[in-house]
Chains A and B, each alone.
Chain A
């Protein structure tokens, strides 16, 4: 019997090509589009953002063309509880969340897995730009995409052996332009569809307003903007409007550009400093997971640590504690470390694992 694969389809060109390729390869493809964001945000109906009706129709047309079954599934309650609420509470806790990481961790590679098992699927597939390879010893490796500019392995660090064994990333060995030309060759109508950039449930990009709408008034913490010596430079309307490392939109007039160095949840203080004063020596990561858990047996390992999706990975040493936390120490001082973001550990093209940044280590 052919292996059944549940393909998460957004209606975009990547997941469409992934599904079509698997179908051509002879898999028993079942396409699903996930309803995630609530409909109340009218902007989300705009074409090109995630989860709009038109996007589902684009996905449906691919299924019709390739002749595999396709269903729209409703995971809005799970998405609100596990991704959107987390997004809000993280900002209110003076951290900067990465909802795409949370969506992979909580929805695509957790909640959707239950659905896949209920539907007797052997694999889950997505249109992510990342590779899964198996070595001679039988262990699975999560690796960067061959298209460096598109590589999405950062968002997938939480995948373990069990998940990798049953996940397919058909686009991992392709570049974006190869994917687009493949889409044209397959006759897919969405071959030239623009990419979605913004967070799907905040289509206008105004995170602060989104947090304010969903949080209670008493949860909003206004406060002072202070410099390193504690002098007040201004006032602000809420710590959720700031992220560590931020330069623009501070609302203060100073001679030299200032950056957010730290946010104090309790006092409401946003501490700003000059660029050369915000660098860090390392960080503490929490909820650390490893693609190959046996790596934890080492006291410390050499890695390249990526502390934001668009940052270059920095050479560092990783030390595990007894629980699920780890200390990352950069070889030379790194840029501002933003609590809440994912820190992903690489060795060359291999993803070793990652965690969520709890705090910076300053010296």
Chain B
């Protein structure tokens, strides 16, 4: 991916929309990248629209479908979606749409049957994550795709977390729209894509130019697209092997942590989840303190989401799964990447266990105000 960016920076400087030859070379690079991204999900290249990232793709999918849907006023989703899905849905709710938010089970899975039961002739859109961003649970799509298709509802999958980690094939999944994010594949932030099966069913959200088949006006982020394409290709070629490697690392890390931290709990499904994500409840400590202490030791983990002020907040996903506020505040997410090594796992296992003991002794949870 870095080589693709470097090569591109040395040779190209055009605007793909320009008519001159530099523009033609830029166009070739952009379309090459589009092909690489399309291959990752088994799509035709012309159905891929580059965006500024997963958040824009989700906004485009949701508002675009709502605008294009003539009379249908219902959207089916879940309580455990990413904020870039939840916020647009709340906005549409205020504008009169009926939003159904399905609750997950205790393992963070959305039951396909409960989704299907809500899909009716008034349904404009079904929007769900293929893999949950916090606990990694994976959605079973076939029944949902069939039910949506039967009533003519648009089926959107947010695959920002899933793509590159598990096989993602649009023909198997049966979706109409799919969100992709490049930085989850190791490319720089600021680029993503929306797969659009039928452009007639989605209204553009950005106007002012013919770019991206008229679906998203504006000079595209060419360097970002080149990096996205290269990382999508790398992910596609290495996926089988890398998934197995990361899964092995994750279970080895979990085993070692369980051995040193009594009552450590794994949130999410033991089996139907992304191989690279571990969402763990650490007994007796605040996740916030663990996160800071680990960061100071060079181990980066995440927790829920950050508020505007930059403080971490308890995960809405874990709360929806039935965890208490206290348990949600004691939970952290550990993500393994393609570049994670056996040494990293070793360091992480030792450091996390040591930091947990230190935090548990010095800042025991009972001392916090009972709330």
Q: Is the CB of A71 within 8 A of B369?
A: no
By beta carbon, the residue of chain A nearest B360 is A118
Given pairs A115-B363, A119-B293, 13 additional interface contacts (CB within 8 A): A72-B309, A74-B288, A74-B313, A77-B371, A78-B368, A81-B369, A81-B370, A82-B369, A114-B362, A115-B289, A117-B363, A118-B359, A118-B362
Query: Which residues of B lie under 8 Å from residue A74 when comparing CB positions?
Result: 288, 311-313
Which residues of A pack against B, CB within 8 Å?
30, 33, 35, 53, 56, 60, 69, 71-74, 77-78, 80-82, 111, 114-115, 117-120
Q: 22 A-B Cβ contacts within 8 A?
A: A35-B311, A53-B308, A56-B310, A60-B310, A69-B296, A71-B292, A73-B288, A73-B292, A74-B288, A74-B311, A74-B313, A78-B369, A80-B371, A81-B369, A111-B367, A114-B362, A114-B367, A117-B363, A118-B359, A118-B363, A119-B289, A120-B296
What's the minimum C-beta distance from A27 to chain B, rounded to whole angstroms?
A: 14
Q: Is the CB of A72 within 8 A of B289?
A: no
In the assembled complex, the Cα of A77 lies from the Cα of B288 at a distance in Å of 14
Query: Which residues of B lie under 8 Å from residue A71 when comparing CB positions?
Result: 292, 295, 310
Query: Which residues of B lie under 8 Å from residue A60 when comparing CB positions?
Result: 310
Q: Which residue of A111, A117, A119 contacts B292 across the interface (Cβ within 8 Å)?
A: A119
Name B293-322 residues within 8 Å CB distance of A: 293, 295-296, 308-313
Query: Which residues of A lie under 8 Å from residue B367 when comparing CB positions?
Result: 111, 114
Q: Is the CB of A73 within 8 A of B311?
A: yes
What's the minimum C-beta distance from A202 to chain B, rounded to whole angstroms?
A: 20
Q: Is the CB of B309 within 8 A of A114?
A: no
- Please name the 9 residue pairs, one residue from A and one from B, whose CB atoms are nearest each other, closest first: A81-B369, A117-B362, A72-B311, A77-B371, A118-B363, A114-B363, A118-B362, A72-B310, A118-B359
Does B358 have its Cβ within 8 Å of any Cβ on chain A? yes
In the assembled complex, the Cα of A342 lies from the Cα of B240 at a distance in Å of 68
Q: Is the CB of B368 within 8 A of A77?
A: yes
In the assembled complex, the Cα of A119 lies from the Cα of B293 at a distance in Å of 5
Residues of B in contact (CB 8 Å), total 21
What's the minimum C-beta distance from B371 to chain A, rounded to whole angstroms?
A: 4
Query: Which residues of A lie under 8 Å from residue B371 when comparing CB positions?
Result: 77, 80-81
- Do A118 and B358 form a contact, CB below 8 Å, given A30-B296, A77-B371? yes
Query: Which residues of A lie under 8 Å from residue B311 when comparing CB positions?
Result: 35, 72-74
In the assembled complex, the Cα of A60 lies from the Cα of B289 at a distance in Å of 18
What's the minimum C-beta distance from A42 to chain B, rounded to whole angstroms?
A: 14
Query: Which residues of A lie under 8 Å from residue B368 when comparing CB positions?
Result: 77-78
What's the minimum C-beta distance from B233 to chain A, rounded to whole angstroms?
A: 36
By beta carbon, the residue of chain A nearest B371 is A77
In the assembled complex, the Cα of A66 lies from the Cα of B368 at a distance in Å of 32
In the assembled complex, the Cα of A80 lies from the Cα of B369 at a distance in Å of 8
What's the minimum C-beta distance from B361 to chain A, rounded to whole angstroms?
A: 8
By beta carbon, the residue of chain B nearest A59 is B310
What's the minimum C-beta distance from B289 to chain A, rounded to whole angstroms?
A: 5
By beta carbon, the residue of chain A nearest B370 is A81
In the assembled complex, the Cα of A59 lies from the Cα of B311 at a distance in Å of 13
In the assembled complex, the Cα of A314 lies from the Cα of B312 at a distance in Å of 47
In the assembled complex, the Cα of A38 lies from the Cα of B219 at a distance in Å of 43
Q: Is the CB of A119 within 8 A of B296?
A: yes
Query: Which residues of A lie under 8 Å from residue B312 when comparing CB positions?
Result: 74
In the assembled complex, the Cα of A118 lies from the Cα of B296 at a distance in Å of 11
By beta carbon, the residue of chain B nearest A51 is B309
Query: Which residues of B lie under 8 Å from residue A118 when comparing CB positions?
Result: 289, 293, 358-359, 362-363
Q: Which residue of B288, B295, B309, B370 contacts A53 across the interface (Cβ within 8 Å)?
A: B309
In the assembled complex, the Cα of A118 lies from the Cα of B364 at a distance in Å of 9
Q: Is the CB of A56 within 8 A of B289?
A: no
Query: Which residues of A lie under 8 Å from residue B369 when comparing CB positions?
Result: 77-78, 80-82
Q: Is the CB of B309 within 8 A of A56?
A: yes
What's the minimum C-beta distance from A30 to chain B, rounded to whole angstroms?
A: 7
In the assembled complex, the Cα of A143 lies from the Cα of B308 at a distance in Å of 38
Residue in B308, B359, B367, B369 whose Cβ sees the most chain A Cβ within 10 Å: B369
In the assembled complex, the Cα of A60 lies from the Cα of B310 at a distance in Å of 10
Q: Is the CB of A35 within 8 A of B309?
A: yes
In the assembled complex, the Cα of A80 lies from the Cα of B370 at a distance in Å of 10
Query: Which residues of A lie under 8 Å from residue B362 when comparing CB positions?
Result: 114, 117-118
Query: Which residues of A lie under 8 Å from residue B313 when comparing CB positions?
Result: 74
Name B183-237 residues within 8 Å CB distance of A: none
In the assembled complex, the Cα of A72 lies from the Cα of B296 at a distance in Å of 14
In the assembled complex, the Cα of A107 lies from the Cα of B293 at a distance in Å of 19
In the assembled complex, the Cα of A288 lies from the Cα of B96 at a distance in Å of 61
In the assembled complex, the Cα of A82 lies from the Cα of B369 at a distance in Å of 8
By beta carbon, the residue of chain B nearest A53 is B309
In the assembled complex, the Cα of A82 lies from the Cα of B368 at a distance in Å of 10
By beta carbon, the residue of chain A nearest B310 is A72
In the assembled complex, the Cα of A56 lies from the Cα of B371 at a distance in Å of 25
Contact with A along B328-371 (1 / 0, CB 8 A): 00000000000000000000000000000011001100011111
In the assembled complex, the Cα of A227 lies from the Cα of B369 at a distance in Å of 42
What's the minimum C-beta distance from A299 to chain B, rounded to whole angstroms?
A: 37
In the assembled complex, the Cα of A35 lies from the Cα of B293 at a distance in Å of 18
What's the minimum C-beta distance from B352 to chain A, rounded to whole angstroms?
A: 14
Query: Which residues of B lie under 8 Å from residue A69 when comparing CB positions?
Result: 295-296
Query: Which residues of A lie under 8 Å from residue B358 when comparing CB positions?
Result: 118, 120
In the assembled complex, the Cα of A53 lies from the Cα of B310 at a distance in Å of 9
Query: Which residues of A lie under 8 Å from residue B310 when comparing CB positions?
Result: 56, 60, 71-72
Query: Which residues of B lie under 8 Å from residue A114 when comparing CB positions?
Result: 362-363, 367
In the assembled complex, the Cα of A120 lies from the Cα of B351 at a distance in Å of 14
In the assembled complex, the Cα of A267 lies from the Cα of B310 at a distance in Å of 48
By beta carbon, the residue of chain B nearest A60 is B310
What's the minimum C-beta distance from B288 to chain A, rounded to whole angstroms?
A: 6
